[in-house]
């Protein structure tokens, strides 16, 4: 996988990639990251990369000529067909599905903007796709570019080594992660849940999935399948047994997760709360 980053701060990219899983993916040659600085494509004595916005207003805009030249130089080092991606808050939200899609490509280019943004004609001429890492305002696209590189790198075959496999990873199952514990068994008066010491791997797996389901329901219900509701099976208000969540989206979950989610929702059904 080859990634190019167009940035006015190439040290920010190089300096952040040498560690952990991404650092090892680079060492193993699974990943190669290059940078291109638009300032190298200026010809004036001040090496000017920005200018005042037409129409007035505060802030500066990235000049089109050096930026498009940098995009073209970096794109020429990538496999044919590599998409040119601009990181901006106006982009398509980056999720695990987008990361998987990018991880399946031979290469892609990331454009990290600074100032108020880039000249819209560069977007028209030199950008194929726009991605956002979330609904907040950053001072540049370098951190978003690093986020994209990190999440893609760990999906490359061989990147995780002996560590926890991506198959078991949070979000791959479409759920939040379960809680983790290590030694000591009792820490500042808090015990490790006994099931994790039981040696019963079926029980442990069930407990972990139940924890993941409960946490997702509490913290991120938007991640659960559309139509997820706490409704008991075959509740009397309906002749047909009531689906606990939208059957069309049930397939998004593994069968084991689907069954445990149904159990969780049945136990949470209105009127069945434990009132102690």
Q: Is the peptide bond before 57 cis (omega within 30 degrees of 0)?
A: no
The residues that touch ligand 4GX, with contacts defined as CB under 6 A, are 87-89, 113, 116-117, 132-134, 136-138, 140-141, 144
CB nearer ligand 4GX, residue 87 or residue 173 = 87
**Closest distance of CB 154 from ligand 4GX, Å:** 19
**Closest distance of CB 147 from ligand 4GX, Å:** 8
**Closest distance of CB 59 from ligand 4GX, Å:** 8
Which of 135, 91, 94, 98 minimizes the C-alpha distance to 117? Answer: 91
CB nearer ligand 4GX, residue 129 or residue 268 = 129
CB nearer ligand 4GX, residue 87 or residue 261 = 87
CB nearer ligand 4GX, residue 37 or residue 213 = 37
Please tell me the chain's helix, strand, coil percentages from 3-state DSSP, rounded to the nearest 5.
35, 15, 50
**Closest distance of CB 93 from ligand 4GX, Å:** 9
CB nearer ligand 4GX, residue 107 or residue 141 = 141
The answer to whether residues 33 and 3 touch, using CB atoms and an 8 Å cutoff, is: yes
CA separation (Å) from 130 to 110, 126, 127, 133, 203?
9, 11, 8, 10, 44
DSSP string, 120-146: HHHHHHH-SEEEES-SS--S-SHHHHH
Which of 80, 53, 47, 79 minimizes the C-alpha distance to 65? Answer: 47
Residue 229 CB-density burial (10 A; 0-12 exposed, 13-18 middle, 19+ buried): middle
The answer to whether residues 112 and 6 touch, using CB atoms and an 8 Å cutoff, is: yes
CB nearer ligand 4GX, residue 8 or residue 33 = 8
CB nearer ligand 4GX, residue 118 or residue 209 = 118
Determine the residue with CB nearest ligand 4GX. Answer: 117
**Closest distance of CB 230 from ligand 4GX, Å:** 34
**Closest distance of CB 209 from ligand 4GX, Å:** 32
The answer to whether residues 141 and 111 touch, using CB atoms and an 8 Å cutoff, is: yes
Instruction: Give me 248's structure tokens.
Output: 């069309």
Over its C-alpha atoms, the chain yields an Rg (Å, rounded) of 24
**Closest distance of CB 68 from ligand 4GX, Å:** 16
């Amino acid at each position: 996988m080859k990634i190019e980053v167009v940035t006015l701060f190439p040290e920010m990219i190089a300096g952040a990639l040498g560690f952990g899983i991404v650092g090892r993916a680079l060492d193993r040659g699974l990943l190669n990251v290059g940078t291109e600085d638009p300032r190298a494509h200026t010809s004036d004595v001040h090496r000017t990369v920005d200018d005042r916005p037409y129409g007035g207003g505060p802030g500066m805009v990235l000049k089109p000529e050096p930026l498009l030249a940098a995009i073209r130089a970096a794109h020429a080092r990538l496999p044919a067909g590599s998409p040119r991606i601009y990181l901006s808050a106006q982009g398509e939200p980056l999720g695990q599905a987008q990361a998987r899609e990018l991880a399946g490509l031979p290469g892609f280019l990331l454009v990290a903007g600074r100032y108020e943004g880039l000249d819209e004609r560069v977007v028209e001429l030199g950008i194929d796709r726009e991605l956002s890492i979330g609904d907040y305002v950053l001072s540049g696209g370098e951190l978003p570019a690093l986020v994209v590189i990190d999440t893609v790198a760990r999906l490359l075959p061989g990147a995780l080594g002996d560590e926890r496999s991506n198959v078991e990873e949070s979000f791959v199952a479409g759920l939040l992660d379960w809680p983790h514990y290590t030694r000591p068994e009792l820490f500042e008066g808090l015990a490790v849940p006994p099931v994790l010491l039981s040696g019963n791997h079926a029980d442990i797996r069930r407990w972990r999935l139940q924890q993941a389901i409960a946490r997702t329901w509490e913290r991120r219900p938007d991640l659960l399948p559309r139509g997820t509701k706490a409704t008991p099976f075959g509740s009397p208000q309906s002749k047909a047994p009531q689906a606990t969540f939208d059957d069309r989206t049930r397939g998004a979950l593994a069968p084991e997760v689907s069954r445990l989610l149904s159990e969780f929702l049945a136990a949470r059904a209105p009127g069945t709360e434990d009132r102690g």
